[in-house]
């Protein structure tokens, strides 16, 4: 928090407008539209997961339709597929970005030519091969949903993430590049889709004097208080990306002489927001991710495992999974050998030195 957030919150209290909708909600949507591009529209919602759910409804996804989703991601990316009763099929990653592999996606469409949609996450703030995935979706007349929850502020081919899909998803959860404490957005170049999202998110109330409903609606709109935090945070988005980038470069310098360590990669034509810097340990090394996590934990330094792939999650047992080569999947390999490093923009140089020195001890 930087202080300006409180001014927007106080304005909401002073005007006695704290419920969903209000000046801050309108302002936050406008700020995001200006940031992503004037051709974009935005609907502020109570979570990024809500935005994904609405994107499927707006896209006409129905029960038993096949939807392809990133395998190496947080469960929120794909859980809404189950909300609407569709069939999720998980797509493996590539080693070049840890994101959805277009070759595996091509293979998936060969097996399921009638698949209706694809949702791709930009893992840890690193853009996927968004142009190729968008092209594949167009070729198969499938809706492309870009989950940019972790990648706000990143770009691919000079274009901001969130702009590549038929609809894009943003999250402002407490751990994201900017936060509203909770909340999300659905963004799109299609104004009609965004208007539909706003309509469905306010219980699908028809414009009548009485309460008229022709469709099932949801209570998904963002509160005016939460949006005030977002407006204040938007003023510092570029600053947060810059600080995250500095942390990434600090880790790069610190581990450049250790062959067993590689950091999460990215395509040359992309600029990640470096939301989280992650490392992967060579398979021949005796050092395991848990060794490092436990050593840091003893110093009260938090780390996290890499997301456990969806096809390995008990709740999704039996779902189909598509990979390019047989054997252990790319996502499982990254999960087994990787961990997320402390990447908080409040880390001091002393904090970074301590983290780095603990990790380096394992590779003498």
Which of 201, 234, 267 is the last residue before a domain boundary? 234
Q: Is residue 197 domain-shared with residue 95, that is, in the same domain?
A: yes
Does the pLDDT of residue 343 top 90, yes or no? yes
Can you give the C-alpha Rg of the chain in angstroms?
A: 21
Does the pLDDT of residue 19 top 90, yes or no? no
Q: Is residue 208 domain-shared with residue 288, that is, in the same domain?
A: no
Torsion of CA 288, 75, 309, 273, to 10 degrees: -70
- Total domains in the fold of the chain: 2
Which of 205, 234, 263 is the last residue before a domain boundary? 234
| pLDDT single digits (tens) 153-166 | 999 999 999 999 99
Q: Is residue 133 domain-shared with residue 249, that is, in the same domain?
A: no
Q: Is residue 260 domain-shared with residue 154, that is, in the same domain?
A: no
**Which H/E stretch holds residue 43?**
strand 41-45
Which structural domain, as residue segments, surrounds residue 359?
A: 237-363
Q: Is residue 296 domain-shared with residue 227, that is, in the same domain?
A: no
Does the pLDDT of residue 17 top 90, yes or no? no
Q: Is residue 296 domain-shared with residue 347, that is, in the same domain?
A: yes
Helices (H), 67-204: 79-83, 102-111, 130-139, 191-201
Q: Is residue 303 domain-shared with residue 331, that is, in the same domain?
A: yes
CA distance 63 to 66: 9
DSSP 3-state of 31: helix
- Which residue pairs, CB below 8 angstroms and at least 24 apart, start in 266-271? 266/97, 266/126, 266/127, 267/96, 267/97, 267/127, 267/129, 267/156, 269/156, 269/157, 270/97, 270/126, 270/127, 270/154, 270/155, 270/156, 270/157, 271/154, 271/155, 271/156
DSSP 3-state of 231: helix
Q: How many CA atoms lie within 13 A of 148 on its CB side?
A: 32
CATH of the domain at 49: 3.40.640.10
Q: Is residue 89 domain-shared with residue 135, that is, in the same domain?
A: yes
CATH of the domain at 265: 3.90.1150.10
Does the pLDDT of residue 21 top 90, yes or no? no
Does the pLDDT of residue 203 top 90, yes or no? yes
Residue listed under structure tokens 């299609």:
190
Q: Is residue 221 domain-shared with residue 259, that is, in the same domain?
A: no
| pLDDT single digits (tens) 43-95 | 999 999 999 999 999 999 999 999 999 999 999 999 999 999 999 999 999 99
pLDDT category of residue 1 using cuts at 50, 70 and 90: confident
pTM: 0.95
């Amino acid at each position: 928090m930087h202080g300006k957030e409180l001014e927007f919150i106080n304005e909401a209290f002073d005007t006695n407008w704290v419920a969903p909708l209000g000046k801050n909600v309108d302002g936050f949507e406008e700020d995001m539209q200006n940031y992503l591009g004037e051709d974009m529209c935005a609907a502020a919602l109570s979570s990024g997961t809500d935005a994904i759910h609405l994107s499927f409804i707006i896209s006409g996804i129905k029960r038993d339709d096949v939807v392809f989703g990133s395998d190496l991601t947080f469960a929120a990316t794909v859980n809404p597929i189950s909300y609407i009763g569709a069939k999720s099929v998980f797509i493996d990653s590539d080693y070049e970005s840890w994101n959805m592999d277009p070759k595996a996606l091509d293979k998936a469409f060969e097996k399921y030519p009638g698949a209706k949609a694809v949702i791709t996450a930009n893992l840890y703030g690193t853009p996927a091969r968004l142009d190729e995935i968008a092209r594949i979706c167009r070729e198969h007349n499938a809706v492309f949903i870009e989950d940019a929850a972790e990648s706000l502020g990143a770009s691919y081919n000079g274009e901001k993430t969130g702009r590549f899909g038929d609809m894009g998803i943003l999250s402002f959860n407490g751990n994201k590049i900017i936060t509203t404490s909770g909340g999300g957005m659905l963004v799109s170049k299609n104004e009609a889709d965004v208007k539909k999202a706003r309509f469905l998110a306010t219980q699908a109330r028809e414009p009548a004097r009485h309460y008229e409903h022709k469709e099932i609606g949801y209570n998904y709109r963002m509160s005016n208080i939460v949006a005030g935090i977002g407006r204040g945070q938007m003023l510092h988005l570029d600053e947060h990306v810059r600080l995250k980038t500095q942390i990434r470069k600090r880790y790069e310098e610190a581990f450049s002489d250790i062959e067993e360590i590689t950091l999460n990669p990215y395509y040359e034509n992309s600029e990640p927001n470096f939301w989280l810097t992650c490392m992967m340990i060579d398979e021949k090394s005796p050092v395991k991710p848990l060794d490092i996590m436990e050593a840091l934990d003893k110093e009260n330094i938090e780390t996290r495992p890499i997301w456990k792939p969806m096809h390995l999650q008990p709740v999704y047992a039996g779902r189909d999974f598509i990979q390019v080569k047989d054997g252990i999947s790319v996502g499982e390999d990254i999960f087994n050998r990787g961990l997320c490093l402390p990447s908080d923009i409040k880390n001091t140089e002393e904090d970074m030195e301590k983290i780095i020195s603990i990790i380096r001890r394992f590779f003498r």
